[in-house]
Amino acid sequence: MLVLFETAAGYAIFKVLDEQKLQQVDNLWKEFETPEKANKVVKLKYFEKFQDTTEALAAATALVEGKLGKSLKKVLKKVVAKDAHEQLAITDAKLGGVIKEKLNLSCVHSPAVAELMRGIRNQMEGLITGLPPREISAMSLGLAHSLSRYKLKFSPDKVDTMIVQAISLLDDLDKELNNYIMRCREWYGWHFPELGKIITDNLAYCKTVRKIGDRTNVAITDLSDVLPEETEAEVKLAVEISMGTEVSEEDITNIMHLCDQVIEISEYRTQLYDYLKNRMMAIAPNLTVMVGELVGARLISHAGSLLNLAKHPASTVQILGAEKALFRALKTRRDTPKYGLIYHASLVGQTTAKNKGKISRTLAAKTALAIRYDALGEDTNAEMGLENRAKLEVRLRQLEEKGIRRISGSGKALARADKYQHKSDVKVYDPSGDSTLPSVSKKRKIEEVEEAEEEDRPVEAKPKKIKKEAPTEETEAAAEAQTETPKKKKKKKKHQQEEEPAAEEEPAVKEEEPAVEEVRSLIITVCAID
């Protein structure tokens, strides 16, 4: 039996000297305790050394993927084909199937073979002659680094550092452009202030200033390639009545240089945005479909890398970028924020205010799945992102329609709108506001009526005074009636004053006249009895 043994330095073919020892699997490790014992079990027949690390990496990757590499095929044809009748012990059963199919060699893979390979690896330095231990360790380290790089599938297209730098530069360009444009508008506004109100677009403003120069050149300058016809006519009309001051040619030259800078930076920003869009579609296509290029790039930049972002749960992705608000809410025991950078996604933006929290939570959950698929998956298509976005749009429509649905047996019937009825409060005109005469209180009117009646009544002769005697029962009853009657009448008057309107004041006075007569007659009766 022959044994195929792979090392970092090359391929080794061993010949098994005593095959009976392979039957004792449990005790086979004892035969490889020392190099001398190991040489009695197996013997090196052929060793094919790798020329460099590249060849070693190609051979190792072929073995990992279960393929038959060129160097291994060459060794097997050269050495094993001579002893085709013997079996070949290998480590990987999948590789054995490929060797048997292509070279028609009988391959063996069993627990005894695995134990044999373990013993050979343990005594490799003593079994492979002519290979220093230092060289074996150096080649093992180099192959380990190369293989790790290959396993991670290191590719320039998968470098998310470029995205982090590009989105940071894009933000810096926006700030600088804003400063430059405001400086240009303020500077040229001293010469032609009306132009800033007519042209609102910043890039068109700078291009117009660059083409005009001095405002006196507007009449002879063709602005049709920069401005529409209506705006051009408005500019030419405004220059005739401009209130701006005169400036020198040197000032105009510096302003035009500033306009050149603004135009160049704007063009570079457009180019950088296209680069970022292409890079995002190459690295994170599903994330780009879910939230867009800018929001996805900012999420990656905030997390540091796509792999770090993939480690975050959906709840963290939802509030990523709102850390200050989160910790402030936790400190003050208020409600935590519902969204961070994900707020600028198109799906959240087109939602009503009351549903933004729900849709941002759903979007964050689907976005977390898309990020992990992009970071750890092997496919580079955006099918999963498109499917999840379609589900989110359906969910969004359900949330929007939920407000106009009513609770019914099926829960699907639309709410019936009530028939419109115009309801308005009809106000009656109050004529009391038209009077300019001073208003008189009811109490004062009653007093005036009583005084007038007393003046009209003739004066009666006073009866002679009679000695007061002890009051009888009739007198006491009359006195009580006299004291009680005015009190009752006073209460009645007050009650009538509060309830009756001003229009019914005169009847109230008339009702009180009989009461006064009764009191007067009662007093005369008492005096006569005395």
pLDDT score of 125 more than 50: yes
pLDDT in tens, 166-180: 999 999 999 999 999
Of 113, 127, 124, 116, nearest to 31 by C-alpha is 116
pLDDT tens string 341-377: 999 999 999 898 889 999 999 999 999 999 999 988 8
In the predicted model, what is the mean pLDDT of the chain?
79
- Angle, in degrees to the nearest 10, between helices 442-456 and 505-529: 50
Q: Please write the tens of the pLDDT for every residue from 40-97.
A: 888 888 888 888 878 888 888 888 777 787 788 888 887 766 776 777 888 877 888 8
Neighbours of 240 (CB within 10 A): 9
**How much is the pLDDT for 287?**
94
Domains, the chain, with CATH or none: 2-152 (3.30.420.220), 161-272 (1.10.287.4070), 284-402 (1.10.246.90)
Token pair of 523 as six digits? 């007093």
Paired residues of 10 in beta bridges: 49
pLDDT number for residue 268: 96
pLDDT digits (tens, 9 = 90+) for 343-353: 999 999 989 88
Instruction: Give the number of other Cβ atoms within 10 Å of residue 439's Cβ.
Output: 7
pLDDT in tens, 17-30: 877 777 777 777 77
- More confident position, 77 or 325: 325
Q: Within 13 Å and on the Cβ side, how many CA atoms surround 49?
A: 10
Rounded to an integer, what distance in angstroms lies between the CA atom of residue 301 and that of residue 188?
Answer: 38
Reported as a single tens digit per residue, the pLDDT across 251-307 is 999 999 999 999 999 999 999 999 999 999 989 999 999 999 999 999 999 998 998
pLDDT of residue 420: 57
Whole-angstrom distance, CA of residue 475 vs CA of residue 526: 7
Total-model pTM: 0.52
* Contact residues for 266 (Cβ-Cβ < 8 A; gap 6+): 177, 203, 206
In eight-state DSSP terms, residue 108 is E
Phi-psi map region of 95: left, alpha, beta (phi>0 left; psi -120 to 50 alpha): alpha
Average pLDDT over residues 406-432: 57
Element (H, E) at 45: strand 42-49
With H, G, I as helix, E, B as strand and everything else as coil, classify residue 365.
helix
Res. 439: pLDDT tops 60: no
The yes-or-no verdict on residue 244 having pLDDT over 70 is yes
- Rounded to an integer, the average pLDDT of 516-522 is 72
| Structure confidence at residue 418 (pLDDT) | 54
Contact, 468 vs 527, CB < 8 A?
no
State yes or no: pLDDT of 195 exceeds 60: yes
Beta bridge partners of residue 108, listed in sequence order:
89
User: Quick check: 241 pLDDT over 50?
Assistant: yes
Give the Cα separation of 517 and 122 in Å (integer): 140
Measured CA to CA, the distance from residue 443 to residue 145 in angstroms comes to 111
Share of residues in the chain with pLDDT > 70 (%): 75
Contacts of 160 by beta carbon, 8 Å cutoff, 6+ apart = 283, 284, 300, 305, 306, 307
pLDDT at 264: 95
The C-alpha atoms of residue 19 and residue 355 are separated, in whole angstroms, by: 75
- Provide the token pair at 187: 């500077």
Give residue 117's pLDDT. Answer: 84
How far apart CA 272 and CA 279 sit, in angstroms, is 10
Residue given tokens 């027949």 in the structure block:
45
Report d(CA 398, CA 392) in Å as an integer.
Answer: 10
Q: What is the DSSP string of 433-480?
A: GG--SPP--HHHHHHHHHHHHHHHSPPPPPPPP-------HHHHHHHH
The whole-angstrom separation of Cα 465 and Cα 177 is: 114
CA distances from 45 to 13, 39, 68, 79, 353 (A): 5, 12, 21, 9, 78
Indicate the pLDDT class of residue 332, thresholds 50, 70 and 90. Answer: very high
Tens digit of each residue's pLDDT (9 = 90 or more) over 446-488: 666 666 666 655 555 444 444 444 444 444 545 454 544 444 4
C-alpha 36: how far from its chain's center? 69
